[in-house]
Amino acid sequence: MLIWRALRERGVLGMNDRNGRFVLPLNPRKHYPRVDDKLLTKKLAQERGIPVPALLGVVSHYHELRSVPELLAPHETFVLKPARGSQGNGIIVIVGRDGDLYRRPNGSTVAIAAIQQHISSILSGVFSLRGDWDNCLVEELVIVHPDFASVVTRGVPDIRVIVCNGLPVMAMCRLPTDESNGRANLHQGAMAVGIDMASGRAVHAIHHSATVTAHVDTQYPLAHFRVPHWDDVLSLAARSSEIAGLGYLGVDVVVDARHGPLLLELNARPGLAIQLANDEGLVPRLELAAEMHATEMPWQERCALAKKLFARSGVGAPPEANP
């Protein structure tokens, strides 16, 4: 009971509360396809001018498998992705070519036939959550922004922003580790760094739900960490809520070395671990967001409001000059 009261006082959002007060009332079921289907998300984003990883091609039918070699021929690097996959399953990353063979991040190589086989699996819905047929996206490979160099040894880090009624309310950065095998998946051992909404600086960090102060692989002190292009990340999140049609949304963003922040995917039921990463409950921020009626505001105003409302005091300035 003591823990219960402490959690209530700190405004920690529980699963039932999230579903009953936010997901169910704010997220109309009819708009779920917009976030569940990455191809649709991408189309909607491009219509609005929201930057996304470039789409190099789509394979939707088995008969298109034959033309896959021509489709891939012009590209040195690319990513194959099931449109309705989850948790990074079924994704194949190609980082280079050795003649006819394609090289993967771990140095192994695959032949075009194996790639065709994998695409055929994606089409048949092997990786799709609902088990239906699926589309295979061929995307441009994201190049991790150099600012992440001190906290990322492998894989691609991403930034999760919770957006409520159009207002970005909380953010965390997920850093892949050796343990997570380069995946930005928290329960596989990735780290989560809570991010100050005003400055993009780290406020707190966890690894397996326990507080840490330095990166588990590189030992880099996380107090110095700051998300590159934070303002653009924030505006990307604010604008993304317009295409989703959902009042309670998780926006996943990657920061590319060449293109800056890109919208990776949207999530209608974002998890609650972000509270542990920020060492702060979501409820007060969500209630504040509900009072603001920000849905109709232009995104610039919403970003400014989010920065003002949710700035973490004492984080605005770096602890010392940037290393």
Partner 1 sequence: MRSWIVVSALLVLAGCSIFLYKTVGLNYPLRAADVAGTWRAELVVNVTGDDDKRVVIDALLPRDSGYQRLLSEAVRSGPMRFSISEDGQSRQGRWSGNLARSTNLSYQVTFDAFEYRWDLPVAEERDADAYPRRPRSLLDPSPGIQSDDPAIAELVAELDLDPSDKVKLTRDIFAFVSREIGAMRTVGAMDAVSVVREGRGNAMGRANLFCALARHVTLPCIVVPGIPLEDGTYDTLHYWNEVYVGGGWVPVDTVEGLIERIPAKHFALSSGDFDTAVRGENTASLSFRFDVQSELAAFVDVMRRRLTESNNLIDRLSLLFLPLHVQQTLRILLLVPLGALTMSILRSMIGLRTFGTFMPMLIALSLTATGLWWGTAFLFVVVLLALLSRIWIQRFYLLLVARVAFILTLVVILMVSLLLIGDRLDIPTTGLRAFPFVIMTMIVERISVSLEEEGWRNTLSRIVTTLISIYVTYVVVQASVLQTFLLVYPEFLIVILGLLIAVGKYTGYRLTELFRFSELAAPKGA
| 131 sits near partner 1 (criterion: CB under 8 A) | yes
Closest by CA to 237, choosing from 222, 224, 226, 227, is 227
- Per residue, the 3-state secondary structure of the chain, as one string, reads CHHHHHHHHCCCCCHHHHHHHHHHHHCCHHHHHHHHCHHHHHHHHHHCCCCCCCEEEEECCHHHHHHHHHHHCCCCCEEEEECCECCCCCCEEECEEECCEEECCCCCEECHHHHHHHHHHHHCCCCECCCCCCCEEEECCCCECHHHCCCCCCCCCEEEEEEECCEEEEEEEEECCCCCCCCCCHHHCCEEEEECCCCCEEEEEEECCEECCECCCCCCEHHHCECCCHHHHHHHHHHHHHHHCCCEEEEEEEEECCCEEEEEEEECCCCCHHHHHHCCCCHHHHHHHHHHCCCCCCHHHHHHHHHHHHCCCCCCCCCCCCC
Closest by CA to 251, choosing from 193, 185, 164, is 164
Pick the stretch among 81-89, 92-100, 107-115, 136-144 that binds partner 1 (CB under 8 A): 81-89
**Which CB, 230 or 310, lies closer to partner 1?**
310
CB of 12 to partner 1, least distance (A): 5
CB of 318 to partner 1, least distance (A): 18
Candidate residues 25, 62, 76, 86; the one interacting with partner 1 per rule CB under 8 A? 86
The burial of 15, by beta-carbon neighbours within 10 Å (0-12 exposed, 13-18 middle, 19 or more buried), is given as exposed
| 15 sits near partner 1 (criterion: CB under 8 A) | yes
Candidate residues 46, 109, 116, 124; the one interacting with partner 1 per rule CB under 8 A? 124
Candidate residues 116, 150, 153, 188; the one interacting with partner 1 per rule CB under 8 A? 188
| 62 sits near partner 1 (criterion: CB under 8 A) | no
| 60 sits near partner 1 (criterion: CB under 8 A) | no
**Which CB, 139 or 280, lies closer to partner 1?**
280
| 109 sits near partner 1 (criterion: CB under 8 A) | no
Size of the site for partner 1 (CB under 8 A): 34
| 209 sits near partner 1 (criterion: CB under 8 A) | yes
Candidate residues 41, 196, 275, 286; the one interacting with partner 1 per rule CB under 8 A? 275
**Which CB, 106 or 117, lies closer to partner 1?**
117
| 113 sits near partner 1 (criterion: CB under 8 A) | no
| 149 sits near partner 1 (criterion: CB under 8 A) | no
| 89 sits near partner 1 (criterion: CB under 8 A) | yes
CB of 140 to partner 1, least distance (A): 26
| 300 sits near partner 1 (criterion: CB under 8 A) | no
List residues near partner 1 by CB under 8 A: 2-4, 6-7, 10, 12, 14-17, 20-21, 86-87, 89, 117, 121, 124-126, 131, 187-188, 206, 209-211, 272, 275-276, 279-281
